[in-house]
Amino acid sequence: MTEKSLAAGSLGGTSAHAQQRATRGLWSSRWVFFLAATGSAVGLGNIWKFPYITGQNGGGAFVLVYLACILLIGIPLLMAEVMIGRRGRQNPDGAVARLAREAGASTRWRVAGWLGGLTGFLILSFYLVVAGWALAYVPATFSGGFAGVSGEASGELFGALLASPLRLVVCATLVLAATMLIVGLGVRGGLERSLRFLMPGLFVLMLVLVVYAAIEGEFAQALQFLFVPDFSELTAKSVLIALGHAFFTLSLGCGAMMVYGSYLPEGTSIAKTSVLVALADTAVALLAGMAIFPLVFGNALEPGAGPGLIFVTLPIAFGQMPLGQVVGGLFFVMLVIAALTSAISLSEPSIAWLTERFGMSRLKAVLVSGGLLWLLSLGSVFSFNLWADYQLFGKTFFDTLDYLTTNWLMPLGGLGTVLFTGWVLKEATVREAIGLQRDGLFRAWWLLLRFGTPLGIVLVFLNLAGMI
Ligand code: PFF
């Protein structure tokens, strides 16, 4: 789409719109918003976490519950976050405050906004470190470093990476620098240009890997594991893990979807786009499963191996298969790309907050938040080596941060957002802002948002508190 067609076409109509474009920037098309939101959703959560928690929780039945959580809790909340962003046209903190004022409610609700930004910032500090592992595996795999490795040797190689603060810092710093460079170039310049080729590239690589796994691995066994539910494998805890992962994978409760929504042109259907983002996100997770499990079963590896599934187990498979060097190298390139597009969205809420709340230039905001992130990421890096023995309640700094953000802050931010949308904003305002044409659809979403979604989140909290 050209600038001209933008100005004249679907996006450029109103003067408010023109003002927004001039001062703050908008996605240049709904396709770019879709790419950006999908890029945020698809990340380490889909490719690294989804397969290993599926492996640990018995396969098919867990996948089914996870899909139900995406549908009944994830999509309604995703729509609410995008709507608040677009209506508020600011960073999450400012957007919630603006809508609260509009509804005549207390601006204290802005806590739901800034808590999200803070959560995103904290997640990013350790997300960078895991993305750094993937980056370290790119040259290691391409250069044939895993050729013929045994399980033990692969575990030792991963252990050696974790034991080296220098390698971890270098890799995390490279990921941080790439993220900040893209974010620093701005919404139009940086994010869009990179997303246009990053996301389609990711899909192509993923398909190549699935085709390879289908030919070379135990594809039928993998499909059976992923898609034939065995409910005897399902525990109450698995259900709640599936629910928590629905939050993480759709980037909810973090301000990311809100800030991306704030760049969304009027007239784009929030419902349709949200459903498409959730579909694309789920498709990538399932593709990741279909790429990884045939290799796991084909090489008699353990599906429930845990967080090391990719970094310890897959190199064994890549080391054995013909062309494994190339397939494996491509796999880790793909993982870095997926992590990068998520990292960009994790940093954008705090960058937008610094520029809009404190009037900083974008460059200064990037330098300030990049510097803070780098310092914080050292805590995660040292958790695996220098500070491994310093533990709080039996957890390292990295584990504490992961536990706190994923299990408490994200659902808390999400709960704040649904309560704010469903119980504070006026129904008429929401109806107008969400732009759902069909009354039946609006009613269904509104009911889910007011009752179903908060109930689901509260169940997660009760589980964490050990009450169920
Ligand atoms: N959704 C990303 C993933 O699945 O890896 C992680 C993430 C990105 C979480 C952005 C939260 C967020 F705001």
> Which amino acids bring their CB within 6 angstroms of ligand 1?
40-41, 43-46, 120, 123, 248-249, 251, 254, 256, 342, 345-346
Give the pLDDT confidence score for residue 20 in this predicted structure: 52
Closest residue (by CA) to atom 12 of ligand 1? 251
Between the CA of 8 and the centroid of ligand 1 the distance, in Å, is 34
Position 34 in a domain? no
* Atom of ligand 1 minimally distant from the CA of 248: 9
Question: How far apart are the C-alpha atoms of 283 and 85, rounded to whole Å?
Answer: 25
Ligand 1 centroid vs 283 CA: distance in angstroms?
A: 16
Atom index in ligand 1 nearest the CA of residue 410 equals: 11
Helices assigned H by DSSP within 185-269: 186, 193-216, 219-227, 236-249, 256-261
**Can you tell me the distance from the alpha carbon of 331 to that of 202, in angstroms, rounded to the nearest whole number?**
10
Pocket test for ligand 1, best of 69, 126, 249 (most atoms within 8 A of CB): 249
pLDDT at 301: 78
Answer whether residue 171 is part of any domain: yes
Ligand 1 center to 440 CA (angstroms): 31
Which tokens in the block code for residue 120? 């995103």
Q: What is the pLDDT of residue 460?
A: 67
Minimum CA distance residue for ligand 1 atom 10: 251
- Mutating to test ligand 1, I would choose from 248, 250, 277, 404 the residue with most ligand atoms within 8 A of its C-beta, which is 248
State the closest ligand 1 atom to the C-alpha of 250, by its place in the atom list counted from 1: 1
Residue closest via CA to ligand 1's atom 9 equals: 251
- Locate the ligand 1 atom nearest the alpha carbon of residue 338 and give its number: 5
Q: Please give the pLDDT value at position 464.
A: 63
Closest ligand 1 atom to Cα of 41: 1
Give distance in angstroms: CA of 181 to centre of ligand 1: 19
Kindly give the distance from the C-alpha atom of residue 12 to the centroid of ligand 1, in angstroms, as a whole number: 30
Q: Which residues of the chain have pLDDT under 70?
A: 1-25, 187-191, 460, 464-465, 467-468
Expressed in angstroms and rounded, the spacing between residue 58 Cα and the centre of ligand 1 is: 24
Within a domain: 95:
yes
Q: What pLDDT, on a 0 to 100 scale, did the predictor assign at position 272?
A: 92
Residue 298, in any domain of the structure: yes
The ligand 1 atom at the shortest distance from the C-alpha of residue 43 is: 5
Quote the tokens at residue 261. 């929504």
Q: Structure tokens of 108?
A: 């204290």
Q: Measured in angstroms, how far is the CA atom of residue 399 from the centroid of ligand 1?
A: 17
User: Ligand 1 centre from 253 Cα, in Å?
Assistant: 10
Nearest residue (by CA) to ligand 1, atom 7, is 251
Domain that holds residue 62: 40-464
The most distant pair of C-alpha atoms in the chain lies apart, rounded to whole Å, by 66
Distance between CA 249 and CA 112 in Å, rounded?
19
Domain presence at residue 20 = no
In a domain, 334, yes or no: yes
Ligand 1: distance of its center to the CA of 434 in Å?
A: 23
Domains held by the chain: number = 1
Q: What pLDDT score does 121 carry?
A: 92
Tell me, yes or no, whether 162 lies in a domain: yes
Any domain includes 86? yes
CATH code where residue 101 lies: 1.20.1740
- Nearest 5 degrees, angle CA 83-CA 89-CA 92? 75
Paired with 395 in beta bridges are: 392
Running DSSP on this structure, what letter comes out for residue 189?
I
Which pTM value belongs to this model? 0.89
> What is the 286 CA–ligand 1 centroid distance (Å)?
17
Question: Which of 38, 78, 81, 123 for a ligand 1 pocket mutation test, highest count of atoms within 8 Å of Cβ?
Answer: 123
d(CA 161, CA 136): 8
Collapsing DSSP to helix, strand or coil, 180 comes out as helix
User: Ligand 1 centroid vs 288 CA: distance in angstroms?
Assistant: 16
